[in-house]
Amino acid sequence: MIIAVTGKGGTGKTILAALLTHFISKKSNRVLAVDADPDSNLPDALGVAELVTKTLGEIREVFQESRDEMGSMNKEQWLEGKIYSEAICECDNFDLLVMGRPEGEGCYCFANNLLRGVLRKLMRHYDYIIIDSEAGLEHFSRKTIEGADYIIVVTDMSKKGLATAKRIKELSEELELNFKEIYLVGNRITNKEAEETIKKFAEENGLKLLEILPYDEKIAELDLKGLPVTLLPEDSEYMKKVKKIADHFIELSVKVR
């Protein structure tokens, strides 16, 4: 099951992706978290930044520079080996892959084609893949999220947050991405009126409202101290609701199987 967390910038995607990884990996030891934001911060949110040695982008660069000297060596095998030994970070209960920055100048088609095959193979080792996406919509038009089963769009109470959610729904139809479901999650919602607005918005736009998360001052506190969000107390309203989201996906995957 591939779950991609998307939405406008700064709405709380990374925190939600980190906590879904945290909760789901308590129930399954086959969880892969993917940081697909070039401005990577999922490892920090999970508190495992020191374990990340290389990004997928860095391995692609090394490959691009040295492929001419590889001669008859099996290049796919080389990439596969590098990814497993250097880019997949084995954390407590889950693995983590950081995509890194996009490619430099030159033609990366060959590298990217090989990478696609290796990643497809790699993904089969996991029951749950949780992707923290880059803000906005560009990755949708590039179809990098094509393989996701479920999309979570995180929005705050801003007009722009809701507009991005609407556009994601429209784009996925235009591009025929065929997600099993596009969910909406409201975050940092502080009053009933805002809650009602989001509920109405979801109904009107054919998005399934998954949860409405409150503002939690402890999140900013941890952020300021550079501590991982996984340290949030499990009895807080925010954490209880995120756990409910995680349980929803676990239940769904049991049903599908």
Ligand X SMILES: Nc1ncnc2c1ncn2[C@@H]1O[C@H](COP(=O)(O)OP(=O)(O)OP(=O)(O)O)[C@@H](O)[C@H]1O
Residues that bind ligand X (CB under 6 A): 9-15, 37, 135, 187-188, 213, 215-216, 219-220, 223, 238
Return the one option of ligand X, Mg ion, none that residue 21 interacts with (CB less than 5 to 8 A, by type). none
- From the CB of 17, what's the least distance to Mg ion, in Å? 8
101: tokens are 């920055």
Residue 194: closest CA among 156, 236, 244, 153: 156
Q: How far is the CB of 186 from ligand X (least distance, A)?
A: 10
Q: How far is the CB of 13 from ligand X (least distance, A)?
A: 4
CB 155 within 8 A of CB 165: yes
**From Mg ion, ligand X, none, which one binds at residue 95 (CB under 5 to 8 Å depending on kind)?**
none
Least CB distance to ligand X at residue 180 (A): 23
Q: Contact at 8 Å (CB) between 209 and 183?
A: yes
Q: Who contacts 127 (Cβ-Cβ below 8 Å, separation ≥6)?
A: 1, 28, 30, 31, 253
In the complex with ligand X, the residue whose CB is nearer, 11 or 253, is 11
Least distance to ligand X, CB of residue 138, Å: 12
Binder among 6, 14, 55, 133 for Mg ion (CB under 5 A): 14
Q: Which stretch binds Mg ion (CB under 5 A): 14-22, 106-114, 140-148, 201-209?
A: 14-22
Q: Which residue is nearest to Mg ion (CB)?
A: 14
* Min separation Cβ 219 and ligand X, Å: 4
**Of the two residues 45 and 114, which places its CB atom closer to Mg ion in the complex?**
45
Q: Which does 187 bind (CB under 5 to 8 A by kind): Mg ion, ligand X, none?
A: ligand X
What burial letters (b/e) apply to 107-144, b meaning 16+ CB within 10 Å? ebeebeebbeebbeebeeebebbbbbbbbebebbeeeb
Residue 227 has which token pair? 């501590």
Separation CA 112–CA 239 (nearest Å): 38
State which residue, 80 or 156, has the beta carbon closest to Mg ion.
156
Helices within the chain (DSSP H only): 13-27, 42-46, 56-66, 75-82, 109-123, 138-141, 159-174, 192-204, 217-225, 237-256
Q: Which residues bind Mg ion (CB under 5 A)?
A: 13-14
